[in-house]
Copies of this chain bind each other. A is one copy, B any other.
């Protein structure tokens, strides 16, 4: 984790909201395009709390992600892209539970009031909020170092949420989309990665198309809401890949008290990842990079054909990359299913000896 210095202490301590804060809320957030009516929302922005009427046959799913400037997004990025990323990574958590987006709240900390920035940010939120019928219903604003706290609420049929703990021996392990793009995007966008100096582009300059691809991968991750909604009933467990496949799959294995193997050759990569980084760094990005916001999920063998068929009909790529076994931990398999060491330690060892 990067170290960030403490924020400087301002001149005065106080809480009262200023006129300009209410103006900001009115002009940029409590708008018909962002805080729009939706069934089940009794009261949105403008009182001490929002009020929801959750349908009796539904569980309410709630997930909060905090994004800090300079860690989770570049400070100088387009505010509409920052907004898109902030809401999308939260929606991805709902997808992992098989929940339909319902509404969200926003805690926005801004160093100063900047109308152009706020208009861009608000517009970026609107786009996704409308796409997923997920209006803003409340939150808070404050002065301070730029950060964004979003809590999303979702709805899922009672007792039908996809938990991490449901994987069974014999299930197949799948991932949606392609992996590693989130980490490779940092390189393509000229940002530093935590994966070390060995983690670099194999090309001196990505093509304009690749650069655009990675910018979209980083700022506009596509939460797999549609896939989870259509096929989630067939998933025995699921998680969204925010911290890298290795760590996130391990959470499923731990919660389900099982082991898993990954066929390294089966991990899906984008054309741009194939074009811009070495095979070793693609693997490193997929396993340890994070920020992919794809789903890793397990499916009972009998349901695999149906799950693949649903995904195909949706135009969403899903790939079987391994199996759930008895035991604990992850085994990595190379060509001919021979065991391979693909741990962080192995990469570090490799780096140290080359």
Contact = CB atoms under 8 A, between A and B. Distances in A.
Contacts of A17: 242-243, 247
Contact of A49 (B94, B112, B138): B94
Interface in A133-148: 137-147
Q: Which of A18, A62, A96, A99 has most B Cβ within 10 Å?
A: A62
A83 to B, nearest CB: 17
Nearest to A112: B3
Given A14-B186, A48-B96, A158-B53, A143 B68 contact: yes
A166 B212 CA distance: 52
Nearest to A137: B62
B3 A143 contact: yes
A64 interface: yes
A49 B154 contact: yes
Interface string A113-133: 000000000000000000000
A96 B56 CA distance: 25
Contact of A109 (B51, B66, B74, B99): B66
A252 to B, nearest CB: 10
Contact of A7 (B61, B70, B97, B186): B70
A317 B144 CA distance: 36
A11 interface: yes
Contact of A16 (B52, B105, B107, B288): B288
Contacts of A13: 2, 70-74, 186, 191-193
A147 B96 CA distance: 27
Copy total for this chain: 2
A158 B14 CA distance: 35
A155 B5 CA distance: 39
Contact of A69 (B6, B141, B149): B6
A48 B243 contact: no
18 contacts: A4-B143, A5-B7, A6-B69, A6-B111, A7-B68, A13-B191, A47-B164, A49-B99, A49-B161, A51-B59, A51-B156, A52-B60, A53-B158, A65-B107, A66-B108, A66-B142, A71-B143, A71-B144
Given A15-B182, A52-B59, 6 more contacts: A13-B70, A14-B193, A14-B194, A48-B240, A49-B94, A54-B54
